[in-house]
Amino acid sequence: MKRVAVLGATGIVGQRLVSLLGNHPWFELTAVAASEKSVGKKYCEVVRWVIERPMPAKAGDLELLPISSDIAREKIDIVFTALPAEIAKDIEIELARQGVIVVSNASPMRLEPDIPLINPEVNADHIEAIEYQRKIRGWSGAIVKVPNCTTAILTLSLKPILDDFGIKKVIVSTMQALSGAGLTGVPSMFILDNLIPFIEGEEEKVENESRKILGRLKTDGIALNTSFVASASCHRVMVLEGHTEAVFVETERDVVIEDLIRIMEEFRSNKIKGLGLPTAPEKPIVVRREIDRPQPRFDRMEGEGMSVVVGRLRKDYALSGVKYVVLGHNTLRGAAGTGVLIAELMVKKGLA
């Protein structure tokens, strides 16, 4: 059993991490940390638990530590972070320096070439970049980044299209869940009978991170995939969990829809196939043929929240390609679940 900790354990991604790690066959949740005012209290007394499953009992009894690289003293193998961008970077670097594996949900450094940005079924091989990372940074530990939620969902759906048909342009318009803004991020007075057509920094993340995730591992880090350009428009809607994305793709080669459906349904990803990672969904992509799916309330828990669900696959005549709708669970596939899956991959590969 690897000893693991969660920094930022009371937020929504932190809760998801605690929920996944609290009953994990390979990991022992050893420490949780939260903001100053909660330190010293028991996790169960402080957290406003919003996950549909009960809190793991042992996790509830943990005493909250401060958010700091001092957590390394607890002999932690892997630290999962769900921290605000402003404070994440320094702590994560210090932890890596001290020999800890950091699996980070925070956005800083995601685009640096030596920092793997991993969506396992898409680019598990990029994890090898930590060798180069250690070489140039001199760390004994490592930092690995979980992609932005919208991008994780998008790139998983794009991967088989890229492999089989080539991609020139991607236009994506999102309808994102409230949970993406954190537990208290969207006051109900602002969103009821409404939507908010802006999410700070989100569009740039989608446009840039997708090219890195779909990029290529080289000896000096990861090279962006410059064969395509992406453009995003991101919007918040009144849904609890599950980001829905309308995607328009200009492909290099003509797409026969029935072929693409088959390719997506058969997509298993040789990147992690056969590794037996506990959090990997059997089918990373589920294709629904009903005319009005995917829908967040009914489809977000597909594959325990780790599958993306694609529907409405049809030709696009404006872009010469395809258009479709993809849905994914933003705090599982889009954050905590992918973080845990990355850690499992690293354990299996002997990297953690």
User: Catalytic amino acids?
Assistant: 149, 243
18 scored as a contact of a second copy (CB under 8 A): no
140 scored as a contact of a second copy (CB under 8 A): no
**For residues 184 and 219, which CB has a smaller minimum distance to a second copy in the complex?**
184
Q: What angle do CA 197, 236, 243 make, to 5 degrees?
A: 130
Q: Say if CB 156 and CB 308 are below 8 A apart.
A: yes
Q: By rule CB under 8 A, what count of residues binds a second copy?
A: 57
235 scored as a contact of a second copy (CB under 8 A): yes
196 scored as a contact of a second copy (CB under 8 A): yes
**For residues 59 and 172, which CB has a smaller minimum distance to a second copy in the complex?**
172
15 scored as a contact of a second copy (CB under 8 A): no
42 scored as a contact of a second copy (CB under 8 A): no
Please give the Cα distance from 96 to 347 (Å, whole number). 16
Give the shortest CB-31-to-a second copy separation in angstroms: 26
CA dihedral 244→247→253→259, nearest 10 degrees, is 30
Strand order in the sheet with 321-328: 229-233, 167-175, 243-251, 321-328, 308-316, 285-287
Give 167: exposed, middle or buried? Use CB within 10 Å, 0-12, 13-18, 19+: buried
**For residues 26 and 248, which CB has a smaller minimum distance to a second copy in the complex?**
248
Of the candidates 145, 116, 142, the residue with the CA atom closest to the CA atom of residue 128 = 116
DSSP-assigned states of every residue in 28-43: EEEEEEE-GGGTTSBH
Segment near a second copy (CB under 8 A); pick from 56-64, 135-143, 156-164, 293-301: 293-301
Segment near a second copy (CB under 8 A); pick from 58-66, 182-190, 252-260, 270-278: 182-190
Please give the Cα distance from 91 to 70 (Å, whole number). 9
Binding mask 239-278 for a second copy (x = CB under 8 A): xx---x-x-x------------------------------
**For residues 18 and 101, which CB has a smaller minimum distance to a second copy in the complex?**
18
At residue 325, the 3 state secondary structure works out as strand
Q: Which backbone phi and psi does 125 adopt, to 5 degrees?
A: -60, -25
Of the candidates 21, 33, 26, the residue with the CA atom closest to the CA atom of residue 2 = 26
* Residues 117-136 interacting with a second copy (rule: CB under 8 A): none
Select from 134, 169, 268, 348 the one that contacts a second copy (CB under 8 A). Answer: 169
Q: Say if CB 319 and CB 308 are below 8 A apart.
A: no
**For residues 191 and 351, which CB has a smaller minimum distance to a second copy in the complex?**
191
Select from 40, 84, 185, 278 the one that contacts a second copy (CB under 8 A). Answer: 185
Of the candidates 228, 83, 73, the residue with the CA atom closest to the CA atom of residue 146 = 83
**For residues 113 and 296, which CB has a smaller minimum distance to a second copy in the complex?**
296
195 scored as a contact of a second copy (CB under 8 A): yes
Residues that bind a second copy (CB under 8 A): 12, 48-50, 52, 169-171, 173, 175, 178-179, 183-198, 229-231, 233, 235, 237-240, 244, 246, 248, 291-298, 301, 311-312, 316-319, 323, 325
